[in-house]
């Protein structure tokens, strides 16, 4: 089996994988980073969103071998170095942007990328439009949208 090496949440990691091993499988099964979820197996739900070299990507669409040398951030790598929640994570908690929590890691990772691309002052339309591809079956999105808007504002000037 070929070896793959990458940086995940700031740590160098490597492992032997079958050629068909998806990144989400490598993260969950070999690295035991189970915050990245598999929700649909068809790249439609967004529960598996991670950041690949700083850009959001669905880890169920990437082969682990494609990520050789890449810098990956999962939900486990988002909290601040002092152990406090990232402002976006805190906003999801404060604004009840989760219910069962299954979609939450992917939503937060997608939200961070929305902020990266659009800045800290996000309107509801922008958030809803850019969350297309992330499915929540519980909340109806109202609190998720509020959480993302609040988290984006709270990220302004924060060391996050």
pLDDT value at residue 42? 82
Give the contacts of 131 (CB within 8 A, at least 6 positions apart): 46, 107, 110, 111, 114, 141, 144, 145, 148
- 3-class DSSP assignment, residue 103: coil
pLDDT value at residue 114? 97
pTM of the model: 0.93
pLDDT value at residue 79? 92
Cα–Cα distance measured from residue 94 to residue 152, given in angstroms and rounded to the nearest whole number:
13
Q: Which domains are seen in the chain, by residue range?
A: 3-76 (3.10.20.30), 87-155 (1.10.150.120)
Q: What strands lie across the sheet with 3-8, from one edge to the other?
A: 11-16, 3-8, 71-73, 49-52, 55-58
Cα–Cα distance measured from residue 128 to residue 2, given in angstroms and rounded to the nearest whole number:
40
Counting as low any pLDDT under 50, the low residues of the chain are 160
DSSP H or E segment with residue 38: none
């Amino acid at each position: 089996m070929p070896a793959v090496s990458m940086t995940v949440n700031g740590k160098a990691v490597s492992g032997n994988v079958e050629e068909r091993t998806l990144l989400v499988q490598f993260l969950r099964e070999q690295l035991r980073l189970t915050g990245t979820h598999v929700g649909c197996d068809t790249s439609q739900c967004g529960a598996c969103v991670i950041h690949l070299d700083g850009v959001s990507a669905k880890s169920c669409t990437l082969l682990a071998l494609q990520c050789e040398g890449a810098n990956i951030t999962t939900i486990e790598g988002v909290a601040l170095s002092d152990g406090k929640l990232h402002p976006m994570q805190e906003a999801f908690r404060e604004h009840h942007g989760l219910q069962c929590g299954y979609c939450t890691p992917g939503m937060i990772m997608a939200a961070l990328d929305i902020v990266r691309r659009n800045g800290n002052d996000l309107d509801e339309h922008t958030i809803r439009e850019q969350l297309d591809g992330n499915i929540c079956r519980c909340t109806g999105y109202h609190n998720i949208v509020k959480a993302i808007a609040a988290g984006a504002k709270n990220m302004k000037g924060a060391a996050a």
